[in-house]
Amino acid sequence: MKFSWRVALLWALPILVIGFFLWQGAFSSSAMTGGSNAAATRMSYGRFLDYLNAGRVTSVDLYEGGRTAIVEAVDLDLDNRIQRLRVDLPANDPQLIAKLRESNINLDTHPPRNDGAIWGLLGNLVFPVLLIAGLFFLFRRSSNAPGGPGQAMNFGKSRARFQMEAKTGVLFDDVAGVDEAKEELQEVVTFLKKPERFTAVGARIPKGVLLVGQPGTGKTLLAKAIAGEAGVPFFSISGSEFVEMFVGVGASRVRDLFKKAKENAPCIIFIDEIDAVGRQRGAGIGGGNDEREQTLNQLLTEMDGFEGNTGIIIIAATNRPDVLDSALLRPGRFDRQITVDAPDIKGRLSILEVHARNKKLAPEVSLDAIARRTPGFTGADLANLLNEAAILTARRRKEAITMPEIDDAVDRVVAGMEGTPLVDSKSKRLIGYHEVGHAIVGTLLKDHDPVQKVTLIPRGQARGLTWFVPSEDQALISRAQIRARITGALGGRAAEEVIFGDAEVTTGAGNDLQQVTGMARQMVTRFGMSDLGPLSLESQSGEVFLGRDLMTRSEYSEEIAARIDAQVHTIVEQCYKDACQMVRDNRVAVDRLVDLLIEKETIDGEEFRQILSEYTQVPEKERYASMS
């Protein structure tokens, strides 16, 4: 543990002060009585008078201006020995002195010493001085800490991280899979480097660029790349850092941020997660003049207010553009909205090449096969995938990443950590029939994605898994494909009912039924793929935004709602009957595949199709490059 002089001083201050006062009191008392009080016994004033009248007092020494006396007297009980006694005398008693003189008693007066007064004055000064010094030290320490009480006067200052020369360490070459977004943002870099190319023809660069996309697609990375390419001052701040519990602080920070930006123009201001401060105004029930709305109003004014912000380009990122205020999205503020989508297979391959630069891969590892295996993965997912593969390689004490590590990393990222294999034969066989039901129905349906593998090894919450991998990235999905996915998802429940009977159906299909119901409802209400006709009966937004959607009336009547439920039930019921029929027609193949699955615990998709083709005709599908 590192020794700190500051902490030691804080602990020592109170001890020193208490010790000083104790020493001061002892010194003062000793000074007042000349050091004699330690050997003197106290005696009351009345007994002193009795001793005086009896002639037993031999000498009296007066201290403290006559308030205290040290008396030497003869004690009859101690064989006439001389005893030293201390007596507190009453003030203003001139008869006592006269009586002492009449009795011829040795009388001596000791003037008070000035040392006690000096030390008393010093003692009275030391404590306030030490107290003030300690408070000053604590105040300085807290003021240096970020967000400490000493920062009270800096609440209104911007907390943006500022880099005069944007050494972000990221360039456009380091960002892959978002070529369209890079092309549009290249104009911003060109304007910052050569603005005369645009101004010569009367063009004006957009004041604001809004990056929209799901988490992990590389929005923040793109902003860093713009700053790194342009080489201009770069302000970076999160939307949540504007808002505080004190009203007006956020607006003050916005003003301070743009003031600093104007002093360093041309420059870039990057606001990450702008939805934290840019949500729609008036969304609170009962209205709202809250801190967040004041901050948003100030941001709108600064972006396109009375004063121009020449040379300042604002880049913001969000994954919730639906909740942003419309005034924030209008031209003149955020002129452009650039969508950063999940990469396609070509983009995923480029991203894997970027993240594989510092990874040691075995020669047999195919990045193209990994890209085909990972549809829907974002850049962050792919980076995590290769990192998990590298961790597994180190754990297994291998020198390079091989395809088994890649395959296990994909499974871990998608489904979770690998669990302990099942031992119970009854549960293992039941789960085997469930997974083989999914696989056999999906394989026999022409419009279903091909099976990649079937496994009984638990991962996450799943006791078994059946992997389907599309042959290509699908931007549009047909009605036949949706029905095939519904039927394939019901294959597990169908196998349980056909093989074990209705009474032995388990809860293993709970997640499957949720997906099936959602797909069937979307067919009816969003895609117009039912007997209700080509109608869109529900909005695409799945979340309620308070103040906007909470009080919105239903988009259809109760009669239409009943018909929607009936159509959903019809679609699911028909697909379930088809799945049950496929399992019955291929019962022999199902039993053989389950026995093989229990023995091997994992069956590759190619082997699965080969065995199934011995019993029935398997439709041809476009297949992806094998990863095994």
Which element (helix H / strand E) includes 211? strand 208-212
pLDDT for 196 beyond 50:
yes
- SS3 letters across 305-339: CCCCCCCEEEEEEECCHHHECHHHHCCCCCCEEEE
- Own/partner long-range contacts of 47-51 (Cβ < 8 Å, ≥24 apart): 48/85, 48/87
Can you give the pLDDT at residue 626? 41
Residue 504: pLDDT band with limits 50, 70, 90: confident
Find out whether 314 and 271 touch, Cβ atoms under 8 Å.
yes
**CATH numbers and ranges of domains, the chain:** 5-116 (3.30.720.210), 161-339 (3.40.50.300), 345-415 (1.10.8.60), 425-539+555-613 (1.20.58.760)
Contacts of 253 (CB under 8 A, 6+ apart): 156, 157, 158, 159, 241, 242, 295
Distance, in Å, from the CA atom of 211 to the CA atom of 227, rounded to the nearest integer, reads 15
Choice between 235 and 76, residue whose per-residue pLDDT is larger: 235
Torsion angle defined by CA atoms of residues 188, 190, 193 and 194, in that order, rounded to the nearest 10 degrees: -120
pLDDT for 570 beyond 80:
yes
For 134, half-sphere exposure in the C-beta direction (CA atoms, 13 angstrom radius) is 16
Can you give the pLDDT at residue 37? 43
pLDDT for 155 beyond 50:
no
Local structure of residue 361 (DSSP, 8 states): B
pLDDT tens track for 176-187: 877 878 888 887
Local structure of residue 564 (DSSP, 8 states): H
Q: What is the average per-residue pLDDT within 528-541?
A: 80
pLDDT tens track for 351-394: 898 888 888 999 998 898 888 888 888 888 999 999 999 999 99
pLDDT for 157 beyond 60:
no
Distance, in Å, from the CA atom of 131 to the CA atom of 21, rounded to the nearest integer, reads 14
Can you give the pLDDT at residue 147? 46
pLDDT for 534 beyond 80:
yes
Which element (helix H / strand E) includes 451? strand 451-455
**Residue indicated by tokens 């944007």:** 166
Find out whether 393 and 385 touch, Cβ atoms under 8 Å.
no
Of 154-158, 179-183, 327-331, where does the model show the most confidence?
Answer: 327-331
Please list the active-site residues. 435
pLDDT for 218 beyond 80:
yes
Maximum alpha-carbon separation in the chain: 143
Sheet holding 161-163, edge to edge: 161-163, 234-238, 267-272, 312-318, 208-212, 336-339
Q: Which of 29-43, 156-170, 239-253, 290-304 has the lowest mean pLDDT?
A: 29-43
pLDDT for 31 beyond 50:
no
Strands 208-212 and 81-88: unpaired
Find out whether 308 and 573 touch, Cβ atoms under 8 Å.
no
Q: How far is CA 483 from CA 480, 486, 569, in A?
A: 5, 5, 13
Q: What is the average per-residue pLDDT within 288-293?
A: 67
pLDDT for 336 beyond 70:
yes
Q: What is the mean pLDDT of the chain?
A: 78
Find out whether 550 and 543 touch, Cβ atoms under 8 Å.
no
Distance, in Å, from the CA atom of 191 to the CA atom of 209, rounded to the nearest integer, reads 13
Can you give the pLDDT at residue 186? 81
Q: How far is CA 392 from CA 286, 388, 406, in A?
A: 54, 6, 9
Can you give the pLDDT at residue 158? 54
Q: Residue 551: how many CB atoms within 10 A of its CB? A: 8
Strand boundaries in 39-133, DSSP class E: 41-43, 57-63, 68-75, 81-88, 106-109
Q: Which of 83-92, 397-406, 548-557 has the lowest mean pLDDT?
A: 548-557
Distance, in Å, from the CA atom of 259 to the CA atom of 405, rounded to the nearest integer, reads 52
Residue 11: pLDDT band with limits 50, 70, 90: low
Can you give the pLDDT at residue 36? 45
Q: What is this structure's pTM? A: 0.66
pLDDT for 564 beyond 80:
yes
Q: How far is CA 258 from CA 51, 161, 262, 268, 301, in A?
A: 92, 13, 6, 11, 11
Sort residue 194 into left (φ over 0), alpha (ψ -120 to 50) or beta: beta
Can you give the pLDDT at residue 168? 63
Q: What is the average per-residue pLDDT within 192-208?
A: 81
Find out whether 326 and 281 touch, Cβ atoms under 8 Å.
no
pLDDT for 7 beyond 70:
no
Choice between 471 and 380, residue whose per-residue pLDDT is larger: 380
pLDDT for 514 beyond 90:
yes
Can you give the pLDDT at residue 302? 84
Q: Which of 32-41, 399-408, 457-466, 554-563 has the lowest mean pLDDT?
A: 32-41
For 410, half-sphere exposure in the C-beta direction (CA atoms, 13 angstrom radius) is 21
Local structure of residue 538 (DSSP, 8 states): S
pLDDT for 477 beyond 60:
yes
Can you give the pLDDT at residue 188? 79
Find out whether 119 and 126 touch, Cβ atoms under 8 Å.
no
Local structure of residue 12 (DSSP, 8 states): H
Can you give the pLDDT at residue 513? 93
Q: Residue 136: how many CB atoms within 10 A of its CB? A: 10
For every residue of 226-273, DSSP letters joined together read HHHHHT--EEEEEGGGT--SSTTHHHHHHHHHHHHHHHT-SEEEEEES
Q: How far is CA 260 from the centre of its chain?
A: 28
Can you give the pLDDT at residue 627? 43
Can you give the pLDDT at residue 153? 47
Of 114-128, 252-266, 310-324, 484-498, where does the model show the most confidence?
Answer: 484-498
Burial zone of 558 (CB within 10 Å; 0-12 exposed, 13-18 middle, 19+ buried): exposed
Strands 312-318 and 208-212: parallel
Find out whether 270 and 234 touch, Cβ atoms under 8 Å.
yes
Q: What is the average per-residue pLDDT within 333-337?
A: 85
Distance, in Å, from the CA atom of 538 to the CA atom of 544, rounded to the nearest integer, reads 13
Can you give the pLDDT at residue 624? 44
